[in-house]
A and B are shown apart, each in its own frame.
Chain A
Amino acid sequence: MKRERQLKGRRGRWLRHILTAHGLVSYIFLYFPIVVLVVFSFNASRYASAWRGFTLEWYVSLLQDAAIGAALKNSLIVAGGSTVISTVFGTMVALAMERYDFSGKLAFDSLLYLPIIIPDIVMAVMLLIFFVLAHAQLGLVTIIISHVAFNISFVAVVVRARLAYFDLSLEEAAQDLYANEWQTFARVTLPLIMPGILGGALLAFTLSIDDFVITFFTSGPGSSTLPLRIYSMVKLGVTPEINALSSFMLIVSMLLVLLSFVLRKGGEGEIEIV
């Protein structure tokens, strides 16, 4: 006989109203800047800070901007490359951490968590020093290496969360039904943890395509990604093109988030918090 947990009685009512009002204001706070940004991206005025009518001009000029095209290409290469590598490695390590005990596991576990909690400016600095001292040519390769270094951890966390609920008797059942170890993995384990792997991959892709600080420190000439491009444009001054580019990126990431929720919902029906 579980019922809604609510503040009961007349006296609780004003508290309830305050709580609701606060929730509403908080959500407005979360979405207000996004709405402002998108609205401004359709503003016909270039200089004046007032509404001068609707236009798609800034989106059109985005399409014609070669530098943005190059940055988009770089972003996709970096995000795609780092996602593939970190998803494979992260899934492998998640399996190892969930299934085996070994000496030094605790130390390795801590190492695995560190990239998630370390401030990104510190990680950026570390990698810059490393690449400089290693005399590496800064560019797309160093950016991808850096992104994989933090994404492995995120993928591992998401896949491990999925593996933690895995019913081991399913694997035993498969082996009982004459599947060898590889067949068991390919036909039972992998399909069952696939939502977790896809969720991890989507997270890695999002983190990679959104990353600014670490990319900024590990990039070289000609390897500018979209966030880097936006940053240098912002530094030169606010323009409608930035608004258009930013709005475009916001919409794409929102679609990605929605997709990831749909994927995960298909998996377990409840939103899980990473």
Chain B
Amino acid sequence: MKPRSRRDTWRLLVLIAPSLFWLLIFFLVPLVMVLVISFGQRGTYGGIVWDFTLSNYARFFDPLYLRIFGRTAGIALATTVICLVGGYPMAYFIATRPPRWRNTLLLLLMIPFWTNFLIRTYAWLLILRDQGLVNMVWTGAVHNLFLHLATAYPAATLFSSLAGLTSVPLELFGTNGAIIVGLVYAWLPDMVLPCYAAIERLDFSLVEAAQDLYANRVKSFLRVVLPLTMPGLVAGSVLVFIPALGAYVTPDLLGGAKSIMIGNVIYSQFMSARDYPFGSAISFVLMAIMLIATLIYFRLGSD
């Protein structure tokens, strides 16, 4: 309703004033600062020279950064696709359980989601690093098995070569793959929840109607279920893609020197290179991509 009286207007002002103040000063002003600084230049000793130049944006076309942006986009895309392929059937599974099971399964899905991100990423470090759990099994039990087989059947050279292969740890840690595993782990629930919401809302008598009208399982899925749950799928993809694009902790902990992402570049511009203008420019572009993705999502969602 519109504020009807002067008292109503006052009440409205009192209710929004604190948040408005906070968001203006500590969100909008910093946001504008980032934009302004992104057109400035780095001073000799790391300060900011106020200026108007596009040189920070031009630096994106440096092959070094282009490669990093390309890799970041690739990793974020791979993460999104894997979450999609894994998360949609998972959402379908949860949505087709009896109601009492559904709530428990949702709760089980959300518990890891609400626990500390850093710690969840660290857990994968324990699993994937050179002395981690996977390699503990690989160079331990698996290696011993092949050693044993090689001594038992000296004629089969396959076993001795396999024993040789398993004597060195697998290179998992520090790869793009490790980052993708970490990101999928972190953001899978973000894909499952909107997909679940869409599938749960789906009127299953529509599927029966399609089958009644001679559509087999595959066709009724493609023509009815998929289009009707598309909003959830798009929402999930945006929710996974955006944070994956801006990831910092995951590549920092699980990635190596060869798998730097945009987040790491931003970090180093502020924390080590002290090049605030360039760091601001990258941040601003990252945010612009995020905004565009969100707008696409809302446009699709409103249809």
Per-residue CB contact flags for chain A residues 13-42 toward chain B (1 = under 8 Å, else 0) read 001000110110011011111101100100
Given contacts A36-B123, A36-B127, 5 further A-B contacts (CB under 8 A): A33-B126, A111-B27, A114-B27, A230-B119, A234-B125
A249 adjacent to chain B (CB < 8 Å): yes
Of the residues B23, B114, B193, B217, contact of A152 by C-beta under 8 Å: B23
A158 adjacent to chain B (CB < 8 Å): no
Q: Which A110-133 residues have a C-beta within 8 angstroms of B?
A: 111-112, 114-115, 117-123, 125-130, 133
Total contacts A-B at CB 8 Å: 240
Once the chains bind, are A23 and B90 in contact (CB under 8 Å)?
yes
A163 adjacent to chain B (CB < 8 Å): no
Once the chains bind, are B246 and A121 in contact (CB under 8 Å)?
yes
A56 adjacent to chain B (CB < 8 Å): no
Once the chains bind, are A273 and B197 in contact (CB under 8 Å)?
yes
Per-residue CB contact flags for chain B residues 124-138 toward chain A (1 = under 8 Å, else 0) read 111101011101100
> What interface size band does chain B fall in?
35 or more
Once the chains bind, are B123 and A112 in contact (CB under 8 Å)?
no
- CB-defined contacts of B294 to chain A, threshold 8 Å: 117
Interface-forming stretch among B51-59, B61-69, B91-99? B91-99
A253 adjacent to chain B (CB < 8 Å): yes
Per-residue CB contact flags for chain A residues 92-113 toward chain B (1 = under 8 Å, else 0) read 1101110111100000100110
B185 adjacent to chain A (CB < 8 Å): yes
Interface-forming stretch among B100-108, B149-157, B158-166? B100-108
B249 adjacent to chain A (CB < 8 Å): yes
- CB-defined contacts of B193 to chain A, threshold 8 Å: 273
Once the chains bind, are B20 and A108 in contact (CB under 8 Å)?
yes
Once the chains bind, are B118 and A34 in contact (CB under 8 Å)?
no
- CB-defined contacts of B204 to chain A, threshold 8 Å: 5
Q: Bound complex: CA of A210 vs CA of B8, how far in Å?
A: 39
Of the residues A100, A210, A270, contact of B115 by C-beta under 8 Å: A210
- CB-defined contacts of A230 to chain B, threshold 8 Å: 118-119, 122
Pairs A–B under 8 Å by Cβ, sample size 17: A22-B89, A30-B188, A31-B112, A34-B123, A37-B122, A50-B140, A92-B19, A95-B15, A100-B1, A101-B1, A111-B28, A117-B290, A119-B286, A121-B286, A210-B115, A231-B118, A249-B119
Q: What count of chain A residues pass the 8 Å CB interface test?
A: 85
- CB-defined contacts of A127 to chain B, threshold 8 Å: 26, 30
Q: Which B10-40 residues have a C-beta within 8 angstroms of A?
A: 12, 14-16, 18-20, 22-23, 26-31, 33-34, 37
- CB-defined contacts of B1 to chain A, threshold 8 Å: 99-101
Q: Bound complex: CA of A111 vs CA of B29, how far in Å?
A: 12
Contacts A100-B1, A119-B290, A152-B19 given; does A129 touch B34 at CB 8 Å: yes
Q: Bound complex: CA of A77 vs CA of B94, how far in Å?
A: 38
Once the chains bind, are B16 and A93 in contact (CB under 8 Å)?
yes
Q: Bound complex: CA of A270 vs CA of B125, how far in Å?
A: 36
- CB-defined contacts of B89 to chain A, threshold 8 Å: 19, 22-23
Per-residue CB contact flags for chain A residues 226-266 toward chain B (1 = under 8 Å, else 0) read 01001100100010001100100110011011100100000
Contacts A119-B290, A234-B125, A261-B107 given; does A129 touch B18 at CB 8 Å: no
Of the residues B16, B33, B188, B286, contact of A96 by C-beta under 8 Å: B16
B60 adjacent to chain A (CB < 8 Å): no
Q: Bound complex: CA of A231 vs CA of B119, how far in Å?
A: 9
Q: Bound complex: CA of A148 vs CA of B12, how far in Å?
A: 21
Residue of A at shortest CB range from B33? A129
Residue of A at shortest CB range from B243? A119
Once the chains bind, are B246 and A37 in contact (CB under 8 Å)?
no
Of the residues B28, B94, B111, contact of A257 by C-beta under 8 Å: B111
A149 adjacent to chain B (CB < 8 Å): yes
Q: Bound complex: CA of A68 vs CA of B27, how far in Å?
A: 31
Q: Bound complex: CA of A102 vs CA of B132, how far in Å?
A: 57
- CB-defined contacts of A114 to chain B, threshold 8 Å: 27
Closest chain A CB from B179 CB (angstroms): 15
- CB-defined contacts of A167 to chain B, threshold 8 Å: none
B227 adjacent to chain A (CB < 8 Å): no
Once the chains bind, are A256 and B114 in contact (CB under 8 Å)?
yes
Of the residues B22, B98, B111, B276, contact of A254 by C-beta under 8 Å: B111
